[in-house]
Amino acid sequence: MSYVYVFLTIFLTVYGQIAIKWQVTAAGAFPADSQGKLLFLAKLLLNPWVISALAAALLAAIAWMAAMTKLELSHAYPFMSLAFILVLVFSALIFHEPLTLPKIAGLVLISAGIIVGSQG
């Protein structure tokens, strides 16, 4: 069950990042003036999708705490690197961000790190 909590943490983290990027992009450019910035951020904080992303972060923290009751941090934490991989893939699919050769090389290195870091 501990691994379910780890993967729930990853899923919720990725969801939050994607939802926030989606809503920030939809909101437009960040204003230059101080009052405009505050209003921009206030609107985002009241946005239901952003609220769900913040709730996902809280739930991710709770799931992580549950995972930590059974797993060693040094064993479980490398799995969190999967969030980098998933965010990169989803950002390419959803937001059409470029998936370049250096990014792909980074994914390979992260994947190797997950495999090595999660051993024993």
DSSP string, 96-118: -----HHHHHHHHHHHHHHHHHT
The predicted-structure confidence for 14-56, as pLDDT tens digits, reads as follows 999 999 999 999 999 999 999 999 999 999 999 999 999 999 9
Phi-psi category of residue 9: left, alpha or beta, with phi > 0 → left and psi -120 to 50 → alpha: alpha
- Domain count for the chain: 1
Would you say residue 10 has pLDDT above 80?
A: yes
**How far are the Cα atoms of 24, 38, 39, 40, 41 from residue 33, in angstroms, in the given order?**
17, 9, 10, 10, 12
Q: What is the pLDDT of residue 118?
A: 72
Would you say residue 57 has pLDDT above 80?
A: yes
Nearest CA among 84, 102, 62 for reference residue 18 = 84
- Residue-range definition of the domain harbouring residue 55: 2-117
Q: What is the pLDDT of residue 62?
A: 98
pTM of the model: 0.87
The predicted-structure confidence for 61-107, as pLDDT tens digits, reads as follows 999 999 999 999 988 888 898 898 899 999 999 999 999 999 999 88
**What is the torsion angle, in degrees rounded to the nearest 10, for the CA atoms of residue 36, residue 38, residue 40 and residue 44?**
180
Would you say residue 120 has pLDDT above 70?
A: no
Would you say residue 113 has pLDDT above 90?
A: no
Which of the pair, 82 or 119, is modelled with greater confidence? 82
Q: Which amino acid is at 94?
A: I
